[in-house]
Structure 1
Amino acid sequence: MIPMDAPPAPSQEVYLQMCMKKAEVVYQVPTCILNAIHQVESGGSLDARMTSKNKNGTEDFTPMQINTGWVSYFTKHFGITASHLKADTCLAVQATAYVVRYEINRAGDFWTGVGRYHSPTPWRAIQYRNAVAAQAQRFGCVIR
């Protein structure tokens, strides 16, 4: 039984921000960047079951829009499926931060890594990186 004086559960937005702060600590991807990715990818949607189909036949899942290519990687290496990601907002945020950090490390450059979260195609990655940078300023990032 829940005591009557128990604090209320956090709102979805507060919970999302808590998850982003945790992901920042674990993966060293700033919360303002994760917020910007969330905004660019889904317009800030909180619909955890969000799925989008891409022109190339892949799908993106959750408001962070994690691509099936990465979902396959997570399933193979960690046993994490699209259903897991859609059922757990924090897991989806952690997965996003993992991908961004992976791509930053692979590229050796922060912004190239951010762009590659969206696409390995250079011109698409540049467009995406610019969109994320613009949004990131709204969430407190200082862009140099």
Structure 2
Amino acid sequence: MQKYCPFLSAMLFSITLLPHAALAKTRSVEEERLIGSCIRKASLGKPWLEKTLWGLRDQEAGWLGAEIRNSNGSHDLGPLQINSWWVPRIAGEVQRSEKQVRNWLRFDACFNAEAARWVFLSALRSSGDYWTAVGIYHSPTLWRQRRYQKAVARHLQERFGDNVFR
């Protein structure tokens, strides 16, 4: 995980003061470029991992500052919608407070993309199966995993074509 960028702090402080409707308007070409750059960095030069992160991003469709409440009381945070359930584990990994990690997940596109990589690769290590890991990224519930896997596969095909991993 990368360390927090102090420059981003000032910019993000001003974003947090905007009302929700104004925040939605901040999803600009510049923000998408930033998120794309962070996905490329988080993929560590591995094309299959970059494509995977793009598939997750396209399905999740979050934005900088996003904090979406789920029916179970958790929240999905930032561009790749990292579930707040992961905050304590990530905080332990980077040895930072949960409050700080939650803020980074919401407002630091690169931290969010790196966390998405970590969540996905953790699921891949534990399951040993690519599509199972894609499903686990979304939910521990099997039927939700299957629905999510199909949605991500569709996004991958739309973005990269039918031969996405060839």
TM-score, reference length from structure 1: 0.82
Letter in 2 for 1:98: W
Does the 8 Å contact 2:58/2:155 carry over to 1?
yes
Does the 8 Å contact 2:78/2:107 carry over to 1?
no
Does the 8 Å contact 1:27/1:97 carry over to 2?
no
Question: Unpaired segments of 5 or more residues in structure 1?
Answer: 1-9
| 1:5 counterpart residue number | none
Query: Which is richer in helix?
Result: 2
Q: Deviations over 1:31-57 (max 9, x none)?
A: 222122112112xx4x31011111111
Distance, in Å, in 2 between the alignment partners of 1:89 and 1:116 is 21
Q: Deviations over 1:55-88 (max 9, x none)?
A: 1111111121111111121112212511122231
Q: CA deviation at 1:102?
A: 0.6
- 53, 72, 97: which one aligns with 1:56: 72
Report the RMSD for the aligned CA atoms in angstroms: 2.2
Q: CA deviation at 1:26?
A: 6.7
Q: CA deviation at 1:135?
A: 0.2
SS at match of 2:43: helix
The 5-angstrom pairing of residues 88-107 of structure 1 reads 88-107=108-127
Q: What percent of counterpart residues are identical?
A: 31
| 1:35 counterpart residue number | 54
Q: CA deviation at 1:13?
A: 2.0
Letter in 2 for 1:66: I
Note if 1:142 corresponds to 2:158: no
Question: Unpaired segments of 5 or more residues in structure 2?
Answer: 1-28
Distance, in Å, in 2 between the alignment partners of 1:133 and 1:115 is 11
Distance, in Å, in 1 between the alignment partners of 2:126 and 2:115 is 16
Q: Deviations over 1:104-138 (max 9, x none)?
A: 11000011001100001111111101100110112
Letter in 1 for 2:164: V
